[in-house]
Chain A
Amino acid sequence: MTEPDALDRRIDAAARSYHAPGDPPLDAIWSRIEGDVAAALQAALADELAARRRGRVLRWAASAAALAASFAVGMIAGRAEDAPLSAPAPVAEAPAPSPPPAVA
């Protein structure tokens, strides 16, 4: 009986010719796909530019929102500073005590 490793090596040796590749006709294949590749690259470029544009718009919107928010916070803080913090709060007047009942 042949050892498994030896049999594997024999199988590998015989398998080498399994669908053995020849020389690829690179130029012929490229000439068939060149147009498709150019179109694919243009489409990919257009997608990327659109994605970049979307990204720029989103970044601008986020910056504008952040600016508006800080402006609003500033306004609120400014108004709070304008309010007279030292003025005493109005005290509600206590009702006048009722006179003691007359003693007979």
Chain B
Amino acid sequence: MTTGTDVSMSDEELGRRLRLTFATMVPLLDSAASDEPAQLLRDASDRLVFEPARREPAAAARWGARVAAVAAAAALAVGFVVVQRSAVDDPALSDTPNLPAVVAEPGWYAVIRPLLPSGFDRIALTHADQQSVAFVAFRSTSAQILDMNITLEPGFDKKETTDPVTFEDDSGTYFESSGGVSLDTVDDRLIGVRCDVTSPLGSSLPTSQDPSAAGPCADASNADPIDGADLRDLARNLATGFPLDAVNESFGAPVGTDVLNPAIAAQVAEFIGEPAVVIAEQNDLVLREVSLSPATVTPPTSRLTVVTGVYSPPAPTNAPVSTEPASLPGARFFRHGAVATAIVVANGTAFHISTSDLSDTNLPALSQLLNQLTATQGAGVPVPPPASTVVPDGDQDVAAIPPTTTMPPADQGYTLLGIDPLPDGYQLLDAYYPTAKNGSGLARFGNPTNTTELWLIIRNEPPRAELFESLDRTTWQFNGRTVWSDGEGDSCLPDACSIGLQWDDQTSLSLIWTDQQGNNLAPGSDQDSLLALLPGLVADDSLPWQEVTELPEPGSAPPAAPIVPGSVVVANGNTLGGSAGRLAEMLNGAGFTVAEVVNATSISSDSVIYVSNEAWCLGIQLAYATGITTTESMPNVLPIDSPATAESPDVLIILGTDAATRFESGDERIDLGPVGQLIVVNGTGDNSIVESRLADLKAAGIQVATEVASARPADETTLHPITETTPWTCGIADLLGIGGFDTWTPDMINGELPEGTDAVLLIGG
């Protein structure tokens, strides 16, 4: 193992460490400067323009923006090739082995993509000649599939039809049915559009037929439905927007028959136990649908469709391409009516499985097959779960299909993940991801019997397994993926233990046991128990992820005590201009309510906090927050020069010369002191009261270390600080409407309070 405490580091070893460090950190500097406004990117010139050699700061900033914009514009213009090439050509990364071949954006992609609805960005060209073209497109956030045919030559492939005309406009005549539309254009061409969720080829399983006229992409459970009107719009777009002369040398050709990995067919045959039956085929092997059921099962209950030549846009990162095989632990199925489907796009190939056999044995087996297929195909790009809400039918066995809810927008650059099942006794505390792109997502799970939390952190990060291997960290293999020791070196700390894993080529995760109060972890909270959770990792559609503007960093202090409400006036009692204003801004930023900033009647050497009788807890919190330790009762005549318009503030802060410079920079952190260990004693026979109190605490982010039964009933709810009265205990008291503190009497419980108890909440009533 190599760690920072290794005293025998050689030049060679230090050199290796330095290369890894530069290779890791310099790209982070890149990304830190990548937040250029979109407008700048659009307006960016690709010409080098000089400004005067000596620039004012504002000009320098403009130049910086211009250079970054030029770089971004150049990268956009050349697209994926440039992004990947920069990683390959990078001298510091020249030792990176076996980078997969770069896939440039085909010419047809830029032609068809703008004509499709949002999200349909994984597209395959299934046919192309001078007469017609055909595409299949996948929308990753809804698992919907568009199948499109466009004839380019007037009169080509037209047949007589007796189908009724359902709509007419300037573009032509529409023949619409559930899930599809055919447009006979005014220039005598045919545009065919179909949307499905259960099969790219339209050969859906019999039980999947949606009886509604809306079509399979528009069922009520789908959060992003495509109905008949949408399909009509799409057909019109294709008729008017797709150039008739698009098929030329730069357009690109459909993927040929030699790209399908033969190992795929072998694996399917091995899965069934007999050769697979081809159900449908289109354009040789570009699309192939095979039965995943034995020949004796007619019609087949499970089908696999393989679509090769799928172009996926690059991930929003300049990370090198993953060198790891893709196996997706727990590739997941989602319900569409009586059919479950799963889809994964791996290295240009889409694997789509649909099944009407929802049994506990079939779905895990199919999931495992999907993992094997994607691992065989190569570096994978998992499709996030659909946005649809799938409500299981009441009388069917759906244990293998967890209920789903609407996914938040998956624009963070990583896949949202969850754990199912959770460790015994653990339940979700909260799950956040930041509004800004590429910030880490954090899901926290707690156990009421101890203070050890389980954290799942997901981030947009290039593959790092090789980095950790280079650092001689302990690694494990799981489903063909490298798991690494993710903490301070190889071993766990007393209060933290973690492992890391690359989920897909844009998502890495950490699983962490952590005790935010600094206590030792609960027994069994080790790397082995984290490794045991890996099979339960799933692309999350069950956690109530919340979008927040800022996510607390891992290891940062847990939520502070609730701020006690009340009006605060800050008076400037020193000669440093603006100091009171800066303090007021800081306090407001921390959640206090500063009603007004005024001048004190005189300059004072000592700062004082005046507190009204009812606001003593707010005074304690402000004393901690400001570091002003002198507190006095509120005088009858306020010592302020200009009269405060706020009526009798709850707290008046006189900022004297002793603390004037303390808030000079205006960006000091407000510290409300430590969070303590709270013990709840149940002194009531009414469980609803206890549950209500616990819910209030949980909602405020206050954790209960443990619950203890009372030795005797209690008439009212009281709070008993064991050590001292702190902002934390004040916050709890205010939260629960407790007007004061009581002294703890040990005979309220049988036995001793747990060691480290800071406060006891006795719930009575």
A and B: bona fide binding partners = no
